[in-house]
Amino acid sequence: MSPRAEHRRAVLRTQLRALGSHHIQVTERAAHPSAELAEQRESRSAQYATERLRGSVWEHVPLALSAYRGTLLVGGTLGRTGISANALTYLSLAVAALAGLAAASGSLVTAALLVVASGALDLFDGVVARATGTTSRWGALLDSTVDRLSDGLPLLGLVVFYADDGWLVTVPGLAILGAFTVSYVRARAEALGAVLPPLFMRRAERVVLLTVSLFAGVVPCEEGRLQGPLTLLGVAVLAASSFIGVISALRSARHALGAPAPQSRAHSD
């Protein structure tokens, strides 16, 4: 056999081996597409959970990260049913209003369960928006506005509940002011360009503390005619913690905003 023919046979064998290797790789990918897709979804969900919890006290809590990643699966399922993110936002507001009515009537356990349900709906609206590709600035504004109302409605119900107890009615009133103020300070500071470190008493912490306080109302306690004394105590802790959060946010914002502004911002109003 001539050297030229031998060379051609060698080239042909190399090409056949390369083609066979490529075929095996394609076959393997075709045999395991679900595994690759699952791995990609897992990576995206982990990244999204980390981004969403960044700047909160839950940022470095593995259980919180795992729980938030689990909501992505539920959110994707909800998105496929056709329900919109805005519908979930409005529904969370309606449930928060029911929580306020339950608290006003003294049904504290029912109010606690409704607060949890409202918080879950608020959590899923953003997940559904992302899963369905319907995120928007209007949706973000609507969500933030409803969050403030959902913060206040259950506490407003407690104002009615304690209306006959004299000055004690100021405790849930102060909790309302504290919740609104800590949210305003953070939002305004970030709008001015401040990057705040992780701080406590964001909405998730307030929802947890309010829920625990409402559940505590069923614990029997001999305090004369005062109903739900442990609930009132928990709400007082919520109010105090919120104002501590306000002070902490203001101090952090003062430090962040004290740095020289970039040239593009230095001359803006």
Lowest-confidence pick of 184-188, 195-199, 237-241? 195-199
Q: Kindly report the three-state secondary structure assignment for every residue of 7-61.
A: HHHHHHHHHHHHHHHHHHHHHHHHHCHHHHHHHHHHHHHHHHHHHHHCCCCCCCC
Query: Is 168's pLDDT higher than 80?
Result: yes
Residue 231: name the closest of 149, 153, 175 by CA.
175
Pair 132, 79: CB distance under 8 Å:
yes
Of 122, 125, 143, 147, the catalytic one is 147
Under the banding of pLDDT at 50, 70 and 90, the label for residue 267 is very low
d(CA 139, CA 237): 32
**Dihedral of the alpha carbons of 84, 202, 240, 114, in degrees to the nearest 10:** 30
Q: Flag whether the pTM goes above 0.85.
A: no
**147 catalytic per annotation:** yes
Average pLDDT for 238-255: 92
3-state secondary structure of 219: coil
Query: In angstroms, how far is CA 33 from the centroid of its own chain?
Result: 31
Q: Cα separations (Å) of 96 from 3, 17, 74, 152, 178?
A: 86, 66, 21, 9, 18
Q: 64-92, pLDDT tens digit by residue?
A: 666 666 677 777 777 777 888 899 999 99
d(CA 146, CA 149): 5
46 vs 239: which has the higher pLDDT: 239
d(CA 83, CA 69): 20
Please tell me the predicted confidence (pLDDT) of residue 209: 94
Lowest-confidence pick of 23-27, 98-102, 105-109? 23-27
Q: Which domains occur in the chain, in start order?
A: 58-258 (1.20.120.1760)
Query: Is 145's pLDDT higher than 90?
Result: yes
Residue 266 CB partners (closer than 8 Å, separation 6+): 260
Please tell me the predicted confidence (pLDDT) of residue 262: 47
Under the banding of pLDDT at 50, 70 and 90, the label for residue 26 is very low
Residue 11 CB partners (closer than 8 Å, separation 6+): none
